[in-house]
C-alpha cells in the first residue's frame, strides 16, 4: 500500500484559479522524492496537502482525493498523523513551537505530547541532536538561533517524532552554499526507510537527495521521472536552467555528439567520467 | 536539566539564575505562596504590609536578585509614589486639608497614599521574588507534571517566548518603513499619522505567524492527549505539598473574612 495516494486533486483558495489542478501522485514508503517547480507552481500547497495540514476547516478540495496508507487524512486522529508524517516549512522561525525555552525542550516537546516513556524520549532526543548536529546548542533559546540553526532544529523536532515520512518545503532556501551542503548531507544520512518528500525550486538540493523527480507547473504535474529525464525536460531548463555541466552536455547532444543512451552529468565528478567517455567514443 | 542557571536565553525574562532555597522550591509552591501573600496584604495594617515587603525584599537579596529588585522597585514605585502623593495628598480635598498660599496638603490623604503604596510595594516585591527565582520553563514543567491542561501552560509560555521575536519584527518593520520614507521624527501629529503603517504589517504578520504556529503545534501532537510527559520536572517535596494545601485552604478563608468584615 502506498504511503500517499493523490487522485486527480483540484484545490484552490476561495474562488481563485486552482493552485493544484488535477494532481495524480503516488508515493511509496521509503521513497526519496523531489517535487520541483517555480514560484507559484503549487509546491507548498501540495506539500501541505501531503502533510495533512490542508485542507483547513472550511476548505475542501474542488475534486479528487488524498489517501495516506489507504485512508483519507480526515479519518486520522492527530496522534497517528503526527507519528506518520512531519512537515518542515520554509521559514525557520515559524517552525518553532513557542512552548520551549531551550533547544532541548523544543526537541522533547513533540515526544512529550505523544505520551512516550521518559527513557524513550531521551533516546530519541539524543539521536535527533546528533543527527542534526545540535548538541552544542541544547541550552540556547530557540528564538536566538540563526536561521540555519533554527532550520536544523525544526528538522530535529520533526525527526524525533520518528515519522514514516518527512516533508521538507524548501529547507535550504535561506542557507549559504556551505550550510546548505551540510544540511543536505545530514538529510542523506537519515534512515533508509524514512520517506523524504522535498519541495524545492532549486535543482541542487533535489539532485542531492531525491531519486524520483516530479515537475510541477501551474498546479499540474508535467513530468515524473528520474534525474536524467527531468534534467533533459524542456520545462526544467526553462524554469531552473541546469547545472553548468548538464547544460554543456545538452549542447553537445544538440550537436549530435552526445548519444541519447549516454546519461547526462549533473555533478563535476560525473562530468569528468562522462565527458571522457564521450570524447573517446568520438575520437 | 537545562534551564536552571541557563544564561543563554534571549527572552525578556526577569529570572536571575541561582541555587538558593527559594530557587529550589517547587514553582507551584511559590505561585500559591504569592497568591496567599497577595490576599494577606489586603488584611493587614500598613505595618504588617511593610513587614511583608521587607521580608520578601530580604529573601530576594538572599536569593541573589537584590539588584533586579532595587531596579524594578525604584522604576515602578518611584513614579507611582509621586502620582499617589499628588492625587491623595494634594489634589483631593479632605476635611484636614491645609492651604498654604497656592499649595494644599492633606495629612490624612498622605496617610492613605502611604497605605496604598506599602500594599503595592508588598505585592510587587512578592511578585518580583517569584519571577526572579522561577524560570518559566520550570513553572511550565511543574504545571505539566501536576496534570494542568497543556493549553493553560501554553498561554503562560508563549507570550514570554514570543515577546522578543515580536519586538525584533516591530523594529524591522520600523526600519523598513523608515527606509521607504516614513517620518517618525517629526511632530506628534506626523507620528500618529505614521502609526498605522507600523501597526498594520505587525498585526498582519502576527496573524500569519499564528496560522503557522497552529500547524506546527498540530504536527507535534499538541493536545492530542490530555496530558504531556515532562522531563526533569521540578522536585516536589512532601512538606511543599502540605504547605500548598494549607495555603490553598487559608486563601479562600482569608478572602471570606475580608469580604465579611
Q: Are B69 and B125 in contact (CB under 8 A)?
A: yes
Q: What is the pLDDT of residue B4?
A: 38
Per the structure, the count of domains in chain A is 2
Residue pLDDT, tens place only, A53-92: 888 878 888 899 999 999 998 889 889 999 999 999 988 8
The CA angle A270-A36-A6, to the nearest 5 degrees, is 125
Q: What is the tens place of the pLDDT at every residue in A131-151?
A: 898 999 999 989 889 888 999
> What would the mean pLDDT of B174-193 be, rounded to a whole number?
84
Query: Band of the pLDDT at B6, cuts 50, 70, 90?
Result: very low
> Do B130 and B30 share a structural domain?
yes
Q: Which residue of B has its CA nearest to A103?
A: B2
Lowest mean pLDDT among A4-18, A25-39, B176-190: B176-190
Mean pLDDT across the stretch B7-12? 48
A257 and A234 in a common domain: no
Does B93 have pLDDT greater than 90?
no
Average pLDDT rounded to a whole number, residues B32-43: 92
Q: Among A102, A109, A117, whose Cβ lies nearest the Cβ of B220?
A: A109
Query: CA-CA distances (angstroms) from residue A168 to A30, A85, A214, B106, B186?
Result: 15, 11, 14, 70, 47
Kind of pairing between the strands at A212-217 and A32-36: parallel
Residue B226 included in any domain: no
Do B191 and B87 lie in one domain? The reply is no
Confirm whether B60 is domain-assigned: yes
pLDDT at B253 over 50: yes
Q: What is the pLDDT of residue B3?
A: 40
Mean pLDDT (whole number) for B23-35: 94
Task: Tell whether A126 is within 8 A of chain B (Cβ).
Answer: no
Whether residue A53 lies within 8 A of chain B, CB to CB, comes out as yes
Give me the sign of the Cα torsion angle A267, A269, A271, A277. negative
pTM of this structure? 0.81
State the best of A99, A151, A157 to mutate against chain B, taking most chain B CBs within 10 Å.
A99
Residue B159 lies inside a defined structural domain of this protein: yes
Instruction: Specify whether A183 is located in the same domain as A252.
Output: no
Quick check: is B1 in a domain? no
Residue B9 C-alpha from the chain's centroid: 18
With b meaning 16 or more CB within 10 Å and e meaning fewer, what string describes A86-100? Answer: bbbbbbbbbbbbbbb
Q: Are residues A54 and A84 in the same domain?
A: yes
Task: State which of A67-71, A244-248, A270-274, B4-8 shows the largest mean pLDDT.
Answer: A67-71
Residues A204 and A97 in one domain: yes
Average pLDDT of B78-96?
86
Please report whether residue B182 resides in a domain.
yes
Q: Name the residue of chain B whose CA is nearest to A125's CA.
A: B231
* pLDDT for residue B2: 39
How confident is the model over A180-188, as a mean pLDDT?
A: 87
Judge contact between A98 and B157, C-beta under 8 A: yes
Cell of A104: 532541548
Claim to verify: residue B185 and residue B72 sit in the same structural domain: no
Nearest residue of A to residue B136, measured between CA atoms: A101
What pLDDT is recorded for position A283? 62
Which residue in the set B3, B213, B220 is minimally distant from A82, CB to CB?
B220
Please check whether residue B230 lies inside any domain of the structure.
Answer: no
Q: Are residues B75 and B183 both part of a single domain?
A: no
Burial class (CB in 10 A: 0-12, 13-18, 19+), A264: buried
Which residues, in sequence order, are bridge partners of residue A88?
A168
Last residue of a domain, one of A222, A240, A258: A240
In a domain, B84, yes or no: yes
Residue B5, pLDDT > 50, answer no
DSSP A46-83: HHHHHHT--SPTT---SEEEEEETTEEGGGS-HHHHHH
Number of H helices, E strands in chain A: 11, 10
Instruction: Tell me whether residues A109 and B165 touch, CB distance under 8 A.
Output: no
| A 96-115 residues inside an 8 A Cβ radius of B | 96-102, 104-105, 108-115
Residues A157 and A258 in one domain: no
Share of residues in chain A with pLDDT > 90 (%): 51
Contacts of A108 in chain B (CB under 8 A): 231
Closest by Cβ to A53, choosing from B150, B218, B220: B218
- Quick one: closest CA in B to A115, which residue? B229
Residues B45 and B76 in one domain: yes
Chain A contact set for B224 (CB, 8 A): 77-79, 82, 113-114
Share of chain A above pLDDT 70, in %: 99
Same domain, A281 and A178: no
Q: Give the full edge-to-edge strand order of the sheet including A165-169.
A: A85-88, A165-169, A195-200, A32-36, A212-217, A220-225
Q: Do the beta carbons of residue B46 and residue B115 sit within 8 Å?
A: yes
- Which of B3, B158, B219 is closest, CB to CB, to A86? B219
Structural domain containing residue B102: 21-136+235-260
Same domain, A230 and A252: no
B94: in domain: yes
For residues A187 and A247, state if they share a domain.
no
Whether residues B67 and B123 fall in one domain: yes
Is the predicted pLDDT of residue B250 greater than 90, yes or no?
yes
Residues B77 and B186 in one domain: no
Q: Please give the average per-residue pLDDT across B191-208, as a whole number.
A: 87
* SS3 of chain B: helix, strand, coil, percent, to 5: 70, 0, 25
Same domain, yes or no, for B31 and B152? no
Nearest CA in chain B to A116: B229
The three three-digit cell numbers of residue A222, written as one number: 508535467
As a whole number, mean pLDDT of residues A39-52 equals 93
Range of the domain at A261: 243-283
Cis peptide bond N-terminal to A55, omega within 30: yes
What confidence tier does B11 reach under pLDDT thresholds 50, 70, 90? Answer: low
Same-domain pairing of B70 and B110: yes
Radius of gyration over every alpha carbon of chain B, rounded to an integer in angstroms? 23
Q: Which residues of B touch A110 (CB under 8 A)?
A: 219-221
Name residues whose C-beta falls within 8 Å of residue A55's C-beta, 6 or more positions apart in sequence: A11, A49, A61
CB-defined contacts A:B, below 8 A: 134
* Number of domains comprising chain B: 2
Of B137, B169, B170, give the one whose Cα is nearest residue B154: B137
Residues B125 and B55 reside in one and the same domain: yes
C-alpha cell at A35: 517535487
Minimum mean pLDDT range among A96-100, A101-105, B243-247? A96-100
Domain at A9, CATH number? 3.40.50.300
DSSP classification of residue A95: G
Residues A128 and A194 in one domain: yes
Amino acid at each position: 500500500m502506498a504511503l500517499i495516494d493523490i487522485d486527480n486533486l483540484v484545490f484552490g483558495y476561495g474562488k481563485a484559479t486552482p493552485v493544484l489542478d488535477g494532481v495524480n501522485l503516488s508515493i511509496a514508503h521509503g521513497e526519496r522524492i523531489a517535487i520541483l517547480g517555480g514560484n507559484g507552481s503549487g509546491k507548498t500547497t501540495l506539500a501541505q496537502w501531503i502533510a495533512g495540514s490542508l485542507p483547513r476547516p472550511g476548505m475542501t478540495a474542488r475534486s479528487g482525493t488524498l489517501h495516506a496508507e489507504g485512508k483519507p487524512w480526515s479519518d486520522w486522529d492527530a496522534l497517528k498523523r503526527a507519528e506518520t508524517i512531519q512537515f518542515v516549512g520554509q521559514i525557520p522561525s515559524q517552525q518553532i513551537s513557542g512552548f520551549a525555552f531551550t533547544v532541548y525542550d523544543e526537541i522533547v516537546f513533540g515526544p512529550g505530547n505523544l505520551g512516550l516513556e521518559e527513557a524513550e524520549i531521551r533516546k530519541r532526543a539524543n539521536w535527533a541532536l546528533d543527527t542534526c548536529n545540535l548538541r552544542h546548542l541544547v541550552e540556547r533559546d530557540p528564538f536566538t538561533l540563526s536561521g540555519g540553526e533554527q532550520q536544523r532544529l525544526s528538522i530535529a523536532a520533526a525527526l524525533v517524532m520518528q515519522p514514516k515520512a518527512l516533508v521538507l518545503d524548501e529547507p535550504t532556501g535561506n542557507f549559504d552554499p556551505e550550510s546548505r551542503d551540510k544540511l543536505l548531507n545530514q538529510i542523506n544520512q537519515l534512515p533508509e526507510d524514512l520517506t523524504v518528500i522535498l519541495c524545492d525550486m532549486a535543482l541542487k538540493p533535489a539532485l542531492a537527495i531525491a531519486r524520483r523527480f516530479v515537475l510541477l507547473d501551474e498546479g499540474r504535474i508535467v513530468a515524473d521521472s528520474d534525474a536524467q529525464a527531468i534534467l533533459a525536460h524542456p520545462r526544467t531548463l526553462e524554469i531552473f536552467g541546469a547545472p553548468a555541466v548538464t547544460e554543456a552536455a545538452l549542447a553537445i547532444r544538440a550537436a549530435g555528439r552526445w548519444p541519447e543512451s549516454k546519461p547526462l552529468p549533473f555533478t563535476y565528478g560525473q562530468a569528468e567520467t562522462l565527458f571522457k567517455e564521450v570524447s573517446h567514443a568520438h575520437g | 536539566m537545562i534551564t536552571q542557571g541557563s544564561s543563554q536565553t534571549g527572552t525578556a525574562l526577569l529570572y536571575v539564575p541561582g541555587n538558593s532555597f527559594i530557587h529550589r522550591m517547587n514553582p507551584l509552591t511559590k505561585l500559591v505562596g504569592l497568591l496567599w501573600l497577595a490576599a494577606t496584604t489586603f488584611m493587614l495594617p500598613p505595618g504588617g504590609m511593610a513587614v511583608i515587603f521587607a521580608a520578601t525584599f530580604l529573601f530576594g537579596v538572599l536569593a541573589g536578585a537584590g539588584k533586579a529588585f532595587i531596579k524594578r522597585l525604584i522604576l515602578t514605585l518611584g513614579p507611582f509614589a509621586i502620582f499617589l502623593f499628588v492625587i491623595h495628598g494634594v489634589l483631593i480635598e479632605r476635611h484636614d486639608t491645609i492651604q498654604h498660599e497656592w499649595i494644599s496638603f492633606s495629612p490624612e490623604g498622605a496617610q492613605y497614599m502611604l497605605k496604598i503604596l506599602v500594599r503595592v510595594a508588598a505585592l510587587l516585591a512578592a511578585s518580583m521574588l517569584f519571577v526572579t527565582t522561577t524560570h518559566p520553563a520550570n513553572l511550565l514543567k511543574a504545571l505539566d507534571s501536576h496534570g494542568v491542561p497543556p493549553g493553560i501552560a501554553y498561554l503562560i509560555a508563549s507570550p514570554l517566548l514570543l515577546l522578543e521575536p515580536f519586538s525584533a519584527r516591530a523594529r524591522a518593520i520600523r526600519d523598513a518603513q523608515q527606509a521607504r520614507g516614513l517620518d517618525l521624527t517629526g511632530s506628534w501629529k506626523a507620528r500618529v499619522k505614521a502609526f498605522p503603517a507600523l501597526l498594520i504589517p505587525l498585526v498582519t504578520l502576527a496573524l500569519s505567524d499564528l496560522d503557522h504556529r497552529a500547524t506546527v503545534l498540530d504536527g507535534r501532537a499538541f493536545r492530542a492527549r490530555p496530558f504531556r510527559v515532562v522531563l526533569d520536572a521540578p522536585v516536589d517535596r512532601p512538606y511543599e505539598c502540605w504547605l500548598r494545601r494549607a495555603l490553598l485552604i487559608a486563601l479562600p478563608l482569608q478572602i471570606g473574612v475580608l469580604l465579611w468584615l
